[in-house]
Structure 1
Amino acid sequence: MGIVDIAPWIVLAASICGLAFAMYKFFWVKKQPEGTKEMANISAKIRKGAMAYLKRQYKTVGIFFIVMLIIICVMAAFGLLTWFVPFAFVSGGFFSGLSGFIGMKIATYANSRTANGAQNSLNKGLKVAFSSGTVMGLTVVGLGLLDISVWFIILKAVLSDPNEIMAAMLTFGMGASSMALFARVGGGIFTKAADVGADLVGKVEAGIPEDDPRNPAVIADNVGDNVGDVAGMGADLYESYVGSIISTGALATAAGLGFKGIVVPMMIAAIGIIASIIGTFFVSTKEGATQKNLLGSLRRGTYVSAILSAISAAVLIFTLLPQNTGVFWAVISGLVAGVLIGFFTEYYTSDSYKPTQKLSESSKTGSATIIIDGIALGMNSTAIPVVIVGISILVSFFAAGGGGFLATGDLSSFSLGLYGVGISAVGMLATLGITLATDAYGPVADNAGGIAEMAGLDEEVRNRTDALDSLGNTTAATGKGFAIGSAALTALALIVSYTDKIQALGGQLQLSLTNPPVLIGLFVGAMLPFLFSAFTMQAVGRAAQKIVVEVRRQFKQIKGLMEGKAEADYETCVDICTRSSLREMILPAALGILAPIVVGLVLGVNGVVGMLAGALVSGFAIAIMMANSGGAWDNAKKYIEAGNFGGKGSDNHKAAVVGDTVGDPFKDTSGPSVNILIKLLSMVSIVFAALIVKFNLVDLITGLLK
């Protein structure tokens, strides 16, 4: 039995190790004391609201999956797909949803325990919140590799051709992407509708503190942190993770690397799980730590994991691919690109650096100027990530052997270069276990601050949770930048996989920019992220208006509420957010699924390639701009709340709150959803490739003209 036969079982074992460590951390968090009875009650309300939302969301998404399953089965019956595809589609969606569900479950257990830990020390609060994030991170990578390894083992036993195996595996990414889009869009609409409504009426109109128990939307806001920033984010990064591994495996077959080339990205991911587990032991801090100290604590864990992954990847590649050792530098380019994108995202969004500090200062002249400067900051922040990704693509392409194509036109060298680009995406996501842990910890810290405020804990406790929350805003922005960067590389690999499949099906590709279908496809693709963002922004606006009206009604009609003598009706706000988000998520999700099918049926395969390229380029820039603008507005508000430029309650603060409410759907709904969109478009295109090759309007008209 050779290394290729053993490797899938090693990957399976690594996934089980990750899930076992996540389970250990899950029960460790649950053993921590919740604090006072009031803290436990508040946490229970948040957990109840989050679970109720997810149950209703999964019922809605279940209808979509049943319809899509029927369509895919019909295509399989007509020979347009293999019968493995329907089952792979369902398993991809199931595991994507499950990863988000488990992450949300632990987050709603950890919030009160983090607040209680913060009563003891800053380090204790960090430990509990980060352990919760670790559960999320390792659950995502563990379930992702479990799904991939089990499918690979099954398909390898049934099919002998690596091309057939990877063609079947590519399609289960569509299930993961579809689930991720619903989870991210629906959760994002819920959380930002509640957040915007709570801030506009509570902070701006009523002048009460954030997370004040008198605010009827405060529980909905905390529920939203979990369903959007935890459950939605988990499903999002699950599909990025599996998409990068599968698409790179598909590129390996095109490059002639066979099973060895396929198992390399799987093994790199397996190494990353073990490295992430080790890295978690290096995260700790001291009392009175500054934001830079706290960031340093989290960075220490991620850097240790990255170094261990790099060293192990070198041994792996030199063993499995001795004739293509340059692939190792493609892995390194992805790792470095991920770290650099994370750093520059932090630079533009953290209040430890000048861009956000200057944004805070612009509040002196009102909300209009802080909004203008925030949008400009986001636009400015797109330049460096684009350059970083561009350099990473070049380095990966040449390091893996793509230079031969540019020199002689050798197509085999071209395929090797593209395999290197795919491997760089895997390298960027190799340590996702701990990278996601630093991201998922943020909503827990945010909830902990809300519970501390509502339970009336000492000011020192709220100061500690605020420090953890502010750090969470930065790590969340860093995580989004990381996810967007990896999405760009993964989407590029998927586009290549799509063109390879079209050629295998006998389709004719004419990808000149002067070819009308390609040109039209480019325009349509470039427009899609804008249209998608418009749908999601408007959805947040409509849902937030309902929350604003409801909060105003309760302030007026519930006697004694503003004096703290009566309890707000929290459940009504939660119900409004739930119903609104589930209804509003359908149109954006439908756009992502139907667009490539419609474009393909009208413009043919060349139009689809143009659409995918246009969506990738514009979507990458829009996603970065929105994520960074939103993150900077949020931290500018917190910078003022810390006592700068007038502090809480000042006109500057009110202007910053308005900026933050504009930024909320930017950073937590539209921005992060766009990076799912650009991958889902590719996944849907791959699944329906055979249908588009056989039936499209352009080829029909061309045939008639002949």
Structure 2
Amino acid sequence: MQSFLTEHGIATSLTLGAVGLAGAFLLIRMVNSCSAGNDRMAEIAGAVQEGAKAYLHRQVLTISVIAVLLVIAIGYLRDTYTALGFVLGAVCSLAAGYIGMMIAVRANVRTAQAASESPHAALRVAFNGGAVTGLLVVGLGLLSVGLFYKIVLEYSGEVKIAINSLIGLALGSSLISVFARLGGGIYTKAADVGADLVGKIEQNLQEDDPRNPATIADNVGDNVGDCAGMAADVFETYAVSLIGAVLVAFLTTHGASEAALIYPFVICGVSIIGALLGIAFVNVVRISPTKALVGGVVISGIVSAALLKPVTDSMFPQAIAFSGTGKLVEASALFTCVLVGIVLTFATVMITNYYTSTAHRPVRRIAEACNTGHATNIIAGISTGHHATVLPVLCIAASIWMCYTQAGLYGIAIAVVSMLSLSGIIISLDAFGPITDNAGGIAVMSGLDPSVRKITDELDAVGNTMKAVTKGYAIASAGLAAMVLFGSYVEELKAHLGHDFVFDLMDPRVMIGLFIGGLLPFSFTAYAMDAVGSAAGAVVREVRRQIEAFPGILTGKDTPDYRQCVDIVTKAALRQMILPALLPLIFVVAVAIIPEHGPYFLGGLLVGTIVTGLFIGIAMTSSGGAWDNAKKYVEDGNHGGKGSPAHAASVTGDTVGDPYKDTAGPAVNPMIKVVNILAILLIPILFR
């Protein structure tokens, strides 16, 4: 058993990755086989599909110009294998987002139709549409990393070259993810905020009212931001975590343990089985949506842990040595690290659910604050986000300490891989949210019975919590992954320079780097928020112009010009995503090129970025999710319900929270990893 997994572990994992992709295509057939409703529903869904495809095509063209320049630079400064890895990572990241989004825009209209039959039918269609994205992420991530590693190893004959080429793949997926998250996030929140400010507050229109000119743009945005952007984000987190673990295994065992190199691939492959069973569980059970979705995660985690115990024992029959641990590490210690990653996933899900669900005190406290005005609602939402950082950070810290004492830096890497290996089921929850949101919009715009919208709204409230949960999960895993990447930076620096390298906090170079690194997430999120505010302002002006120029829009006599709003947010998103997306590259290169002292400044920058980025990401996503559900709690009839002063205040909180939770906050996640990966990539180029 041991020799089989050691010799064929990657091949076995790739087979399981293909099984995951097969599961995704089976779900695509299941979703497409469902009824798409009447002609009016098909017309609206077609407009959303057309807008989403047009935006992604233009985004790809914009990104390609920058990507080509980077490929040339990487090929010239590093090597061809690393440049090819960059291309593969970028293509797979885009593919995961594009395919996931295209099935989501087909699932939304089918979810609306299914909601006219039963809540459970709607849940199944929406979840299966989201599960396609989840399985695509893990399948493509495992296959791209594993196949590229084997191909480069075959052609080069050197493990070191193969692993270094994976750094290019990691950078390609991370950089594309930043663009996708920012561009999609600016698009969706500019349209959403613009539609809410004029439609709900000024004209007292309901959500997704077809008389609102920004409605189609809002629905398109849900797909390009929450589906395509999210899929690219988690693909890169998954791929980067796997690559980081392989790099750490090579550096800390000096290439002596083949089992340590292969083990991360095996974890990812085995966990796909758990994801498939979790997805099947959600489809079969007939319980409340929240319990069904969380139950799927629990099933996936338990099955993965049960399967990985004998696998770990068989792969490590003898203790192995990792540099920096001062002891031999046994299989039981590595399996403990696997369990830590799974438990941290559960903990993150429960903590984020507490702070963002309508069933718990934080969201209801924000809704209650709406009774006393807009300002008190904003204050309550910001404080909730700050409170929400405490438990996740303590859990992350405890996980780092526990894994480090078990197996050093490699133990932390295994916990990250274990955590991200559950992405197949976790991301299914995230994509579920925008599908149900769009389904509600289609139900309203196509004039379906109000009972249909009631069902989709109930699912959407669950989806909002699930989106917040998965963003919290992604940011928490990014914190652990960044720790691993920073450790890899230090180890790679030692290997490259040929001597020990210590970062001393009394060294002013390190402290200056810490301050600069701590600044980066603030500057990054500021530009992202500015972009949303500017684009949303343009949408507001356009919606006001149309309503003033054509008063018949409000009476139903005139038809709004939906395309104009779509065009405004498309151009704004593509134009304003570029500067913040390039900020991590600018900061890292500017610090790294300082003669003689670059490694010290850069090491401090990495730590500063990790620490402040983790707190900002958790606080923003938690605040935004809580504001959104506080609005839904008021709209359900609490504190005066729709049209009340409390409702107006809740809408303000929701619009402020939109760029928090769907643009700036989640984009911090890939930004942190871009900084760390680029630092590793630059070591042999700049440091002598």
Match of 2:345 among 328, 335, 338: 338
Matches within 5 A, 1:398-413: 398-400=405-407
Tell me how far 1:285 sits from its aligned partner: 8.0
Amino acid at match of 2:423: L
Q: Residue deviations 1:369-405, cap 9 Å, x none?
A: 00011001100110100000001111111122xxxxx
Would you say 1:655 and 2:662 are equivalent positions?
Answer: no
CA distance in 1, matches of 2:283, 2:497: 57
Which residue among 557, 562, 575 is the counterpart of 1:570? 562
Per the alignment, residue 16 of structure 1 pairs with: 18
CA contact (8 A) 2:153 2:161 kept: no
2:125 is the counterpart of 1:128? yes
| Residue equivalent to 2:530 | 538
Q: Separation in 1 of the partners of 2:551 and 2:641?
A: 31
Q: Counterparts of 1:49 and 1:160 in 2: how far apart (Å)? A: 47
Work out which of the residue numbers 626, 634, 637 in structure 2 matches 1:643.
637
Paired with 2:562 and 2:12, the residues of 1 have a C-alpha distance of 49
User: 1: CA distance between counterparts of 2:600 and 2:259?
Assistant: 32
Offset of residue 153 of structure 1? 1.4
In the alignment, which residue of structure 2 is the partner of 1:556? 548
**8 Å contact from structure 2 (residues 285, 292) kept in 1:** no
> 1:490-509 maps to which residues of 2 (within 5 A)?
490-506=481-497, 509=501
SS in 2 for 1:368: helix
Give the AA of the match of 1:302: V
Q: Which amino acid aligns with 2:397?
A: G
Q: Within 5 Å, which residues of 2 pair with 1:624-635?
A: 624-635=618-629
Task: Give 1:2 shift.
Answer: 4.3
Q: Does 2:281 correspond to 1:282?
A: yes
Quick one: distance in 1 between partners of 2:164 and 2:270? 25
Preserved contact between residue 171 and residue 686 of structure 1 (Cα < 8 Å):
no
Give the secondary-structure state (helix, strand or coil) at the position aligned to 1:513.
coil
Residue-by-residue CA offset, 1:103-148 (whole Å, 9 max, x unaligned): 1000111111000000000000001000101100000110001101
Q: Distance in 2 between matches of 1:355 and 1:372?
A: 12
Please list, as runs of the form range in 1=range in 2, the aligned pairs for 1:79-90 lying within 5 A after superposition: 81-90=78-87
Question: How many Å separate the matches in 1 of 2:671 and 2:363?
Answer: 28
Give how far 1:610 is off: 0.5
Q: Verify the 8 A CA contact 2:82 2:164 in the aligned structure 1.
A: no
- 1:670 is matched with 664
Q: 1:585 aligns with which of 577, 584, 609?
A: 577
Counterpart Cα distance in 2 of 1:334 and 1:73: 36
Aligned partners of 1:637 and 1:653 also within 8 Å: yes
Compute the RMSD of aligned alpha carbons: 1.3
Tell me the distance in 1 between the aligned counterparts of 2:454 and 2:153. 55
Identical columns (%)? 43
Deviation of residue 284 (structure 1)?
4.5
Pair 1:51–1:266, CA change in 2 (3 A):
same
Number of the residue aligned with 1:700: none
CA distance in 2, matches of 1:471, 1:689: 45
Q: What does 1:461-480 align with in structure 2 at a 5 Å threshold?
A: 461-480=452-471
Q: Which amino acid aligns with 1:305?
A: S
Question: Contact (CA 8 Å) 1:637, 1:657: kept in 2 or not?
Answer: yes
> 2:59 matched to 1:57?
yes
Q: What is the distance in 1 between the residues matched to 2:600 and 2:686?
A: 10
Which whole-Å CA distance do the structure 2 matches of 1:170 and 1:315 have between them? Answer: 31
1:285–1:297 CA contact under 8 A, matched in 2: no
1:381 is aligned to 388
CA contact (8 A) 1:122 1:286 kept: no
Task: Give the match for residue 325 of structure 2.
Answer: none
In the alignment, is the contact (CA less than 8 A) between 2:464 and 2:629 conserved in 1?
yes
Counterpart pick for 1:166 among 151, 163, 167: 163
- Unaligned 5+ residue runs, structure 1? 76-80, 401-416, 695-706
CA–CA distance in 2 between the matches of 1:162 and 1:296?
45
Compute the displacement of 1:30 (Å): 1.0
TM-aligned CA deviation for residue 489 of structure 1: 0.7
Q: Say whether 1:298 aligns with 2:293.
A: yes
**What residue in structure 2 maps to residue 459 of structure 1?**
450
The residue identity in structure 2 corresponding to 1:492 is M
SS state of the match for residue 32, structure 1? coil
For residue 561 of structure 1, give the secondary structure of its aligned residue in structure 2. Answer: helix
- Three-state SS of the structure 2 residue aligned to 1:24 is helix
Indicate conservation of the 8 Å contact 1:351/1:639, yes or no: yes
Task: Report how far residue 299 of structure 1 moved.
Answer: 1.2
Match among 30, 33, 38 for residue 31 of structure 1: 33
SS at match of 1:262: helix
Aligned-partner Cα distance in 1 for 2:356–2:498: 46
Alignment correspondent of 1:370? 377
1:242 corresponds, among 239, 243, 259, to: 239
Does the 8 Å contact 2:432/2:463 carry over to 1?
yes
Partners in 2 of 1:233 and 1:671 — Cα distance?
12
Contact residue 122 and residue 285 of structure 1 kept, 8 A: no
Could you tell me how far apart the structure 1 residues matched to 2:260 and 2:186 are?
Answer: 41
- Give 3-state SS (helix, strand or coil) of 1:283's partner: helix
Cα 1:29–1:516, aligned 2, differ >3 Å: closer, same or farther? same
On the 8 A contact 2:187/2:570 being kept in 1, the answer is yes
Amino acid at match of 1:450: G
The amino acid of 2:271's aligned partner reads G
Once the two structures are superposed, residues 19-55 of structure 1 have per-residue CA deviations (whole angstroms, 9 ceiling, x without a partner) of 1110111121111111011001000000000000000
Is the 2:409–2:484 contact (alpha carbons within 8 Å) kept by the matching residues of 1? yes
TM-superposition CA deviations, 1:591-628 (whole Å, max 9, x none): 02221111111240111111000000000000000000
Alignment check: 8 A CA contact 1:194 1:220 kept: yes
Say whether the 8 Å CA contact 1:338–1:482 is kept in structure 2: yes
TM-score of the two chains, using structure 1 as the length reference: 0.93
Q: 1:526 aligns with which of 501, 508, 518?
A: 518
Cα offset for 1:160? 4.5
- Matches of 2:306 and 2:394, distance apart in 1: 26
Answer yes or no: is the 8 Å Cα contact 1:248–1:419 preserved in 2.
yes
Q: Would you say 1:351 and 2:329 are equivalent positions? A: no
Q: 2:600 aligns with which of 590, 597, 606?
A: 606
Q: TM-score, normalised by structure 2?
A: 0.96
| Contact 1:123–1:286, Cα closer than 8 Å, also in 2 | no
Contact 2:84–2:168 (CA<8 Å) still a contact in 1? no
Gaps of 5+ in 2: 320-329
- Hey, what's the Cα distance between the residues in 1 that align with 2:122 and 2:236? 30
1:510-525 correspondence to structure 2 within 5 Å: 510-525=502-517
For the residues of structure 1 that align with 2:257 and 2:240, how far apart are their CA atoms?
A: 19
Cα pair 1:194 1:221 within 8 Å, conserved:
yes
Aligned-pair distance for 1:207?
A: 0.5
- Cα shift readout 1:84-106 (whole Å, capped 9, x = no counterpart): 10100100010001000001000
Question: How is 1:220-259 mapped onto 2 (pairs within 5 angstroms)?
Answer: 220-256=217-253, 258-259=257-258
CA distance in 1, matches of 2:128, 2:468: 19
Report deviation, 1:691.
2.2
- Whole-Å Cα distance in 1 between the matches of residues 159 and 334 of structure 2? 20
Alpha carbons 1:99, 1:140 under 8 Å: kept? yes
Match of 2:213 among 213, 216, 220: 216
Q: 2:189 aligns with which of 183, 187, 192?
A: 192
CA distance in 2, matches of 1:295, 1:544: 32
SS in 1 for 2:282: coil
User: Deviations for 1:641-670, whole angstroms, at most 9, x for unmatched residues?
Assistant: 000000001000000000000000000000
**Are the equivalent residues in 2 in contact too, given 1:162–1:258 (CA < 8 A)?**
no
Candidates 425, 436, 439, aligned match of 2:430 = 439
> Secondary structure of 2:555's match?
coil
Shift of 1:83: 2.3
8 Å CA contact 1:162–1:259 kept in 2: the answer is no
Shift of 1:255: 2.4
Distance between the aligned counterparts of 1:670 and 1:194, measured in 2? 15
